[in-house]
Structure 1
Amino acid sequence: MSGTAPQECADRDPGLQPERTRLAWRRTTLSSTVAALLAMKTALHGGASVASVTVCALCGALWLGFLLVAHRRIQVLSATSHPTAMTPRHATTGALLTVALAVCAVALVF
């Protein structure tokens, strides 16, 4: 059985992984957009107040930051068949923006 492993590696198409990763970034961006819009709708549901407008602005800024990181990564993945690895700085930024948007959503629920 282990004699077939090198043949399986040779048949693997390395071009598929960047495409799957690019599609995953697109799905994550779409779900982030929905979460940000629902958070803004929830914040403004009871009427516009200083706190609700502040939360809306914060959610919008976090969403725009995540959109920028995701768009940059999608461009890199689409540009070549062997894209470079994501820098730790961009990965950390994307993760922090996602967590911050989740914290805003939790704050709106309570």
Structure 2
Amino acid sequence: MPGPSSPAAPRDPGLQPERTRLAWRRTTLACAVATSLAARQALRAGTGPVPLLCVALAALAWLCFLGVAARRIRAVSVPRPPALSPRAAAAAAGCTLALAAFGAALTR
């Protein structure tokens, strides 16, 4: 009888892929909210070039994160999803840090 770690045993992922998809969607939604709040702050702060540039770059970072998240959501829909590549992880972390930096620049 094959054990649970045996290669012949079928994998039962349970609800883990669904939780992962939901986590990526929640994070993408949080990035969208942060970008929207940055745009709102820029509109209230004035129409100078710095706030508008921060909002444009924040929107670009959000779109980049959206692309990474969409690829990852598709990747976890198979029974044995591949691990998140270091490049995709760095892109997601970079987008998150960029959103934080642009938000900080808007609050000055």
- Is the TM value for this pair above 0.5? yes
Output the amino acid matched with 1:37: S
- Unmatched 5+ stretches in structure 2: 5-10
In the TM superposition, residue 92 of structure 1 has moved relative to its aligned partner by: 0.8
The one-letter code sitting in structure 2 at the alignment partner of 1:82 is R
Q: 1:102 aligns with which of 90, 97, 100?
A: 100
Aligned pairs (5 A) from 1:82-97: 82-97=80-95
Per the TM alignment, residue 15 of structure 1 is displaced from its structure 2 partner at its CA by 3.4
Instruction: List structure 1 runs of 4+ shifted beyond 3 angstroms.
Output: none
Deviation at 1:13, TM superposition (A): 4.2
TM-score for the superposition, normalised by structure 1: 0.82
Kept in 2, the 8 Å contact 1:66–1:94? The answer is: yes
Distance 1:108 1:50 in 2: 11
- Identity percentage of aligned residues: 50
Residues 58-83 of structure 1 show CA distances to partners (whole Å, capped at 9, x for unaligned) of 111111111111111011112x1221
Q: Which residue of 1 aligns with 2:34?
A: 35
Structure 1 unaligned blocks of 5 or more: 1-5
Number of aligned residue pairs: give it: 101
More helix by share: 1
Q: C-alpha root-mean-square deviation of aligned residues, in Å?
A: 2.0
Aligned to 2:7: none
The Cα offsets for residues 10-32 of structure 1, whole Å up to 9 and x where unpaired, read as: xx942321111111000000011
> How far is 1:46 from its partner?
3.0
Length-normalised TM-score, structure 2: 0.84
